């Protein structure tokens, strides 16, 4: 068996970890037990991570949309994202997880141009709900979602440390 020829991997410490002086060392883990995976030489992503490593209990959501407790959806895209992220936060809490335990988010949007046009507001909303923790993420444009009025649906995966 031969070693892969891909780029070397750097494990980036969580900047909120008590000892972030050793950032980039494999032995440095955040208090949440998560490690951000960043291949050496790759540009640092903004607003997401290329990969995450974690050990613990898995908490996952289905596709979550931005309806409120009464099943109402706002028409505004950013308002739907805010409610969707809040809903995910509540599901995580029900499973004993917090936003800093997130390792992956998959976003499904019906209009990628609407997403791109709202990046600044989306970033602000994201940080209000999840803080400055950026797990691995993917964004996919879809033809439509099951709920016709929904503009965004997000699946989440978290790992609660042992």
Answer for the pair 36, 14: CB distance below 8 angstroms, yes or no.
yes
pLDDT confidence of residue 20: 35
Residue 33 burial (CB < 10 Å; 0-12/13-18/19+)? middle
Tokens representing 137 are 């993420």
DSSP annotation of 49: B
pLDDT confidence of residue 154: 98
The pTM assigned to this predicted structure is 0.79
Give pLDDT tens digits along the chain (162 positions). 444 454 444 444 444 443 333 333 333 356 667 788 888 989 888 888 888 888 899 999 999 999 999 999 999 999 999 999 999 999 999 999 999 999 999 999 999 999 999 999 999 999 999 999 999 999 999 999 999 999 999 999 999 998
- CA 32 to chain CA mean position, Å: 15
In the block, tokens 């109402």 appear at 72
**Among residues 157, 135, 126, which one has the least CA distance to residue 61?**
157
Give me the half-sphere count of Cα atoms (radius 13 Å) on the Cβ side of residue 22: 10
pLDDT confidence of residue 52: 84
User: What's the 3-state SS for 50-97?
Assistant: CEEECCCEEEECCCECCECCCCCECCCHHHHHHHHHHHHHHHHHHCCC
């Amino acid at each position: 068996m031969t070693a892969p020829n891909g780029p070397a991997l750097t494990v980036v410490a969580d900047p909120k970890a008590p000892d972030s002086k050793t950032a980039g060392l494999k032995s440095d883990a955040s208090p949440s037990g998560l490690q951000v995976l960043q291949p050496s030489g790759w540009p640092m992503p903004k607003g997401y991570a290329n990969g995450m490593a974690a050990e613990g209990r898995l908490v996952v959501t289905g596709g979550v949309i931005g309806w409120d407790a009464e099943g109402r959806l706002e028409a505004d895209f950013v308002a739907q994202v805010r409610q969707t992220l809040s809903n995910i936060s509540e599901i995580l809490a029900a499973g004993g997880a917090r936003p800093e335990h997130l390792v992956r988010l998959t976003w499904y949007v019906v209009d990628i141009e609407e997403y791109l046009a709202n990046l600044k507001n989306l970033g602000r909303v994201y940080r209000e709900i999840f803080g400055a923790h950026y797990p691995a993420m993917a964004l996919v444009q879809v033809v439509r979602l099951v709920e016709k009025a929904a503009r965004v649906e997000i699946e989440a995966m978290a790992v609660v440390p042992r």
